[in-house]
Amino acid sequence: MVDQFDRAQELDAQHLADSLVAQQRRAGQLSGPALSHCADCGDEIPFARRVAVPGCRLCIDCQTLREKQTGYRHGK
């Protein structure tokens, strides 16, 4: 059973990784095409999302869930 501290560390590490990717994207350093299927759930990522978010790795549902878990808010 995973305890709260382990889960908190996992979320912290994921938040850091997501923040680094966002920072690289803003700096134009993120390269490579977006995935055709979500890295978390395996569902197909719509073409429009792949065009709108270069290098995206998650579908909208999984990205939304991850942002809720990490406490991410747009505009911060």
Spacing of C-alpha 53 from chain mean position: 11
Domain total of the chain: 1
pLDDT at 48 over 80: yes
Q: Which domain holds residue 57?
A: 4-70
Q: Which helix (H) or strand (E) holds 10?
A: helix 4-26
Examine residue 76 and state whether it is found in any structural domain, yes or no: no
Higher pLDDT, 25 or 57: 57
pLDDT at 74 over 60: no
Examine residue 55 and state whether it is found in any structural domain, yes or no: yes
Q: What is the pTM of this model?
A: 0.54
Examine residue 62 and state whether it is found in any structural domain, yes or no: yes
Examine residue 28 and state whether it is found in any structural domain, yes or no: yes
Listing DSSP states for 33-53 in one string gives PPPSB-TTT-PBPPHHHHHHS
Examine residue 75 and state whether it is found in any structural domain, yes or no: no
Instruction: Give the per-residue pLDDT at 76.
Output: 46
Examine residue 34 and state whether it is found in any structural domain, yes or no: yes
Could you tell me how many helices (H) and strands (E) the chain has, helices first? 3, 0
Q: What is the pLDDT of residues 5-43, one digit of tens each?
A: 888 888 887 887 777 777 766 655 455 678 899 999 999
CA 4, 5, 6: angle at the middle one, nearest 5?
Answer: 95
